[in-house]
Amino acid sequence: MHLARFPRLFLAHLPTPLEPLTRLSKELGGPEIWIKRDDCTGMSTGGNKTRKLEFLMAEAEAMGADIVMTQGATQSNHGRQTAAFASKLGMKCHILLEDRTGYKDSNYNDNGNVLLDHLHGATTEKFPGGHDMPGEMERAAEEARAGGQKVYVIPGGGSNPTGALGYVNCALELVQQANERGLVIDHLVHATGSSGTQAGLVVGLKAINANIPLLGFGTRAPQPKQEQMVYDLAVKTAEKLGCAGIVQREDVRADTSYVGEGYGLPRPDTIEAIRMFAELEGILLDPVYSGKGAAGLIDYCRKGHFKKGERVVFLHTGGSVALFGYDAHLNQPTMAEAAE
């Protein structure tokens, strides 16, 4: 598997650290928990989209694009990182933002990722929830093309076969790090949304026969839809790499029990997970993705799904900038407090 065959910009801070979470492991009294710090990838505070954008923006540059367009939720980490890449490369960036929460709080709508979008020079458009965002993005792209601009369109989350290459590479990187320190990984878990991160990991792990069980904790879609999205993209990514047929449907597992009322709406266990990581390990999670993934991790440890003596790696997908849009929610009670 020769990733150098694909255009890539080497802007990420790689390899990201692989670290033990000693205090969290002790607190939960179960498995030995490690963290893969993809919140440290660089480019506007980092996050998982940086790996994807190394390949996506290289493709945009190779095509001679002078503007990139993408879409996501109001507090889109992907939008912020795309804007950062565009500024680095001297391209324009336009982001279509969908209101998926209905929050009217000014911090949610103007702070956090939105603030950084504009600081990087991106322009934004806002749309109500339930909009046909891919359709709106194509409309905006056609208008820009009619005006003489060369547009490169990136799907939400950077989740297409090109973007997923970033997490094929991450799988190789993680296994190499584990091998170098004699770390046998019994479980790899992360938050899964637009599917590119999980699809890339599935393909990378299968391609090198790593035999590491991978589980995505969903952040939006119901389980059947989430798993199908990941599987479909993993199949296309494997085809792009020239290793069609390596991914089976049973390789894709997602648990969507921790989504709650919907995308971007944190549950009490999300807030508890954010607090635990911050207070025990000095690590910031976000309320949309990594917080829900960590809530799943914590619950699996408490219920014995991940057993004492096993080694679990939590892939941190970043997103802590969104905390500044959720200040009102960080005063929500934890699950224990809510039960009192």
Residues tagged active-site: 76
Tokens of 301: 């440890």
The side-by-side arrangement of strands in the sheet containing 67-73 is 123-127, 92-98, 67-73, 151-153
Phi, psi of 260, rounded to the nearest 5 degrees: 80, -145
Distance of alpha carbon 191 from alpha carbon 218, whole angstroms: 6
DSSP label of 37: E
Tokens of 36: 């893969």
Q: How many CB atoms lie under 10 A from the CB of residue 336?
A: 10
Give Cα 121 distance to the centre of its chain. 23
Please answer whether residues 13 and 40 qualify as being in contact, where contact means their C-beta atoms are separated by less than 8 angstroms. Answer: yes
Distance of alpha carbon 319 from alpha carbon 146, whole angstroms: 35
Residue type, 230: V
Burial of 179 (0-12, 13-18, 19+ CB in 10 A): exposed
Q: Which residues pair with 215 in a beta bridge?
A: 189
Please answer whether residues 168 and 237 qualify as being in contact, where contact means their C-beta atoms are separated by less than 8 angstroms. Answer: yes
Q: Which residues pair with 152 in a beta bridge?
A: 68
The Cα-based distances of 199 to 39, 163, 326 in angstroms read 19, 10, 29
Q: Which residues pair with 125 in a beta bridge?
A: 96
Which stretches of the chain are DSSP H helices?
A: 22-28, 49-62, 77-89, 106-110, 113-119, 133-146, 161-180, 196-207, 223-241, 268-281, 290-303, 335-339
